[in-house]
Amino acid sequence: MKKLLIVMVAMALVGGFVFAGPSGESGKAVVGFSQATMASPFYVSHVEAAQARAKELGIDLIVADANENVVKQNQDIADMLQRGIKVLILNAVDPDGVAPSLAACVQKKVPVVTVDRFVNGNVDVVIGRDNVLMGQAVGNSIVAALGGKGRARGKILEVMGSGGDRVQEARSRGFHNAVDSESGIEVVQTPYCDYVRSKAATATQDIIQRHRDIVMIYGHNDDMSLGALQVCEDAGLRVQCAGVDGLMEAVEAINQKRYLATSANDPYAFGRQAVEVANRLINGETVGKDVDAGTFLIDASNVAQYYDPSLAFATRK
């Protein structure tokens, strides 16, 4: 049994598949889910929710991890099309690099549903969130914490996501919509940290050598914010911190008064909605082109409502 398990794991790693349901067994519809990466807890939760909803709906869900490699992602999608998927759910590694896959789906008449990340091409349904709104909501909280409109003062470290990523650009723009009109606020930025905590920590270690007067951290995701916060705390700096995603670790930090606010990105809702939309397309139902997955701000005023240590991310009950 142990030997069989090792062989199965090895095959999964070679094939790049996180989960592969039987291809149309018992008449079930087959849906493909090409995930950009499984290195982030956000995307792991995303996939787990999609798998659970697919099981409830009687859908065979094939999930492939692209490992942030667009060549692999295109090959994964080609494999899925050969296996006869009825709908492709896509979280793209690169908005332009998946063009061959989009063309192949058109040729095969397979609808494409993008989720979270956007693509530069025509797809059937886009499931996303208003990332400008998310960044602005957190930015408004930061302004209030630093003294309020017209009186806010302090130096903020903005921890940057991935270069060229539209989500990163939107979260930054929303944040700057809130803070740039405050003459007493100065913003310094890290290099791009690709939403990875360890990269954010390394970048912050370098920056605080020159900017020890930082009083606030804003990260384009909570994972990076928490990495930057730990570095500042270890260096003896008294800082406040905020971010985006609703990572439960950040929600717990709000409880501990180490964290100001987070704008929820709820990967569970993303995963469920993606499969539900795919199911409606399979059934011939009309689905609007844009689906807003929604967001909500978590801070000291409502943290008790969303804190649930059994979850990796905050979700609406």
pLDDT in the model for residue 130: 94
- Where are the alpha helices (H) located in 16-165, listed in sequence order? 41-57, 70-82, 99-108, 131-145
According to the model, what pLDDT value does residue 59 have?
Answer: 97
Could you count the other beta carbons within 10 Å of the beta carbon of residue 184?
A: 13
Which CATH fold topology does 2-127+268-286 show?
Answer: Rossmann fold (3.40.50)
The predicted-structure confidence for 50-83, as pLDDT tens digits, reads as follows: 999 999 999 999 999 999 899 999 999 999 999 9
Percent of the chain scoring above 70 in pLDDT: 91
Pairing of strands 112-115, 261-264: unpaired
Q: Which of the four pLDDT bands, split at 50, 70 and 90, describes residue 25?
A: low
Q: Using the 8-state DSSP alphabet, how is residue 26 labeled?
A: G
Cβ distance 183 to 104 under 8 Å? no
Average pLDDT over residues 144-152: 98
Letter for the amino acid at 206? D
Q: In the structure, what pLDDT confidence band is assigned to residue 41 with cuts at 50, 70 and 90?
A: confident
- Assigned token pair, 46: 């995303």
Rounded average pLDDT over 191-203: 95
Considering all CA atoms of the chain, what is the largest pairwise distance in Å, rounded to the nearest integer?
67
- pLDDT per position as a tens digit, 292-317: 999 999 999 999 999 999 999 999 86
Residue 59 burial by Cβ neighbours in a 10 Å radius (0-12, 13-18, 19+): buried
| pTM reported for the whole predicted model | 0.81
Residue 84 CB: number of other CB atoms within 10 A? 13
CATH no., domain 131-264+299-306? 3.40.50.2300
Considering the chain, what is the average pLDDT of its residues? 91
**Alpha-carbon torsion (246, 252, 255, 258), positive or negative:** negative
- Which part of the chain has CATH 3.40.50.2300? 2-127+268-286, 131-264+299-306
pLDDT, tens digit, for every residue of 128-144? 999 999 999 999 999 99
User: What mean pLDDT comes out for the span 147-157?
Assistant: 98
Q: To 5 degrees, how large is the angle CA 36–CA 42–CA 45?
A: 100
